[in-house]
Structure 1
Amino acid sequence: MQSLSLPRRHLRGFTLIEVMITVAIIGILAAIALPSYRDYILRGQVVDATNGLAAMRANMERHFQDNRTYKTSGDFTTPCAVDESKRKVGNFTLSCKAGTPTDTTYVLLATGSGPTTDFVYTINEAGDRSTTGTGSSGWGTCTSAWVLKKGQSC
């Protein structure tokens, strides 16, 4: 009697261990890359605050040159008195510190929302800059400069 031998099909595919190793490698790469990517995105959003404050400060200085006061006068309305929706720049809202502007001083604020909730940037009439409230991990505060990236010191 002759034994029947079925033709063997050569199976192609991945073994379970190969798939598990691939998933582990992808997981490790994602764990390394994701925090760096988040910081990169956050740095891009911080620029909205600094650019907005610089533009707002330029308007205040232009008004002071013409009128010798930072307060609202004539046809000029200080940027702080403009509707809040028009003072929104990216994830930041631009405003004036309570009690300013006066005739000779002002303090402008950029307060973060959303992913930048912990960030508050300020600048005054003398150009003094500060960063406060950056409770985000690794982002510092500084009383003499704007913190623009994680790990930056004054």
Structure 2
Amino acid sequence: MFGNFSSPARRSTSRGFTLIELMIVVAIVGILAAIALPSYRSYYMRGALADAATGLTMMRADMEAYYQNFRTYAASGSATPPCSTPRKNGKFTIGCDAPGASSYTLKATSTETLLKDFVFTVDQADKRQTTGAPTGWNTCTSRWVMVKGEAC
């Protein structure tokens, strides 16, 4: 007569997410990112700093082999010392200023944003130094600093 009273009133079902549900997901993702990003940055830097140490060690071995052959670290005749041509190792460039007859200092530097303040050196006596480091990192005259906050 005046409509169908035999069936209960139906509510329309909506599909999708409510604003509250979306905001909760965004908050969870933000918290996870805040935790994960510093950890990843630290992981990335440790790996890149290992490239500097490896590159300096390899170049030092090449310089010692050169010295064994020519009895000098400086250029000898047409032979040039290995460090006179900068070598790329990972994110770092390894090179030296003009080596003397009995001494040299190898230097590892980077142009990458996170690594550009780091400067590592090693000489013919295997004296390792961290002569440059970003804010929060320490420099050291007796070894390479590879971890933030590590004391000399």
TM-score by length of 1: 0.84
| 1:119 aligned residue | 118
Give the partner amino acid of 1:91: K
Select the structure that is richer in helix: 1
Within-5 A mapping of 1:3-152 = 3-4=3-4, 7-82=10-85, 84=86, 87-97=87-97, 100-115=98-113, 116-135=115-134, 137-152=135-150
Cα displacement (A) at 1:3: 3.7
Number of residue pairs the alignment of both structures matches: 148
Name the SS of the counterpart of 2:76 in structure 1: coil
Please report how far the alpha carbon of residue 66 of structure 1 lies from its aligned counterpart in structure 2 after TM superposition: 2.4
- Cα deviation, residue 79, structure 1: 1.9
Residue 151 of structure 2 is aligned with which of 130, 150, 153?
Answer: 153
> Deviations for 1:81-132, whole angstroms, at most 9, x for unmatched residues?
22x4xx22222221214xx411111111011111311110100001000112
CA contact (8 A) 1:63 1:76 kept: no
Bigger radius of gyration among the two: 2
- Supply the distance in 2 between the matched residues of 1:65 and 1:153 (Cα, whole angstroms): 36
Which secondary structure does the structure 2 equivalent of 1:114 belong to? coil
> What TM-score do you get using the length of structure 2 for normalisation?
0.85
Displacement after TM superposition at 1:6 (Å): 5.0
SS of 1:140's partner is coil
Identical pairs, percent: 53
Task: State the 1:75 CA deviation.
Answer: 4.9
Q: 5+ unaligned residues in a row in structure 1: which ranges? A: none
1:10 to partner: Cα distance: 3.4
Counterpart contact for 2:66–2:82, Cα < 8 Å: no
Q: Counterpart of 1:39 in structure 2: which amino acid?
A: S
Paired residues of 2:106 and 2:123 also in contact (CA < 8 A)? yes
CA root-mean-square deviation: 1.9
